[in-house]
């Protein structure tokens, strides 16, 4: 039963990807916040604001768990740990402290 449900979700995703009417957005940054009712995400592409997403706490927690599971699975299969933005920034900052050039767009 679980396998059939997973196949249905994959089919839904493939259909959405192929539909021209469904917007496709690439992001490489974000700002997150919360208020009494919702979680708010500002999704960014190359430091430009792309879209604001509001979601319930239940949806946000579910999304966070699913994304975490997805990344863990990818890391296990590739045997490579993906760095977070915070880790990348810290490593780049160390290079700047050592006087190495930094060509980042920050």
Element (H, E) at 69: helix 57-78
Would you state the pLDDT for residue 61? 98
Q: Which pLDDT score is estimated for 27? A: 97
Q: Which two tokens stand for residue 102?
A: 């930094």
Q: 3-class DSSP state for residue 6?
A: helix
Quick: pLDDT tens for 55-95.
Answer: 999 999 999 999 999 999 999 999 999 999 999 999 999 87
Q: Label residue 19 by pLDDT band (50, 70, 90).
A: very high
Is the per-residue pLDDT at 104 higher than 60?
A: no
Inform me whether the pLDDT recorded for 26 exceeds 90.
Answer: yes
- pTM equals 0.76
Q: Are the C-beta atoms of 45 and 105 separated by less than 8 Å?
A: no
């Amino acid at each position: 039963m679980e396998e059939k449900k997973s196949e249905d979700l994959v089919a839904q995703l493939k259909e959405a990807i192929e539909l021209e009417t469904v917007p496709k957005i690439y992001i490489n940054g974000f700002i997150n916040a919360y208020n009494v009712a919702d979680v708010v995400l500002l999704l960014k592409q190359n430091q430009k604001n792309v879209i604001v997403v509001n979601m319930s706490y239940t949806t946000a927690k579910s999304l966070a768990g699913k994304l975490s599971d997805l990344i863990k699975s990818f890391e296990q299969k590739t045997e490579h740990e993906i760095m977070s933005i915070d880790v990348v920034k810290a490593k780049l900052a160390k290079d700047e402290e050592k006087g190495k050039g930094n060509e980042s767009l920050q």
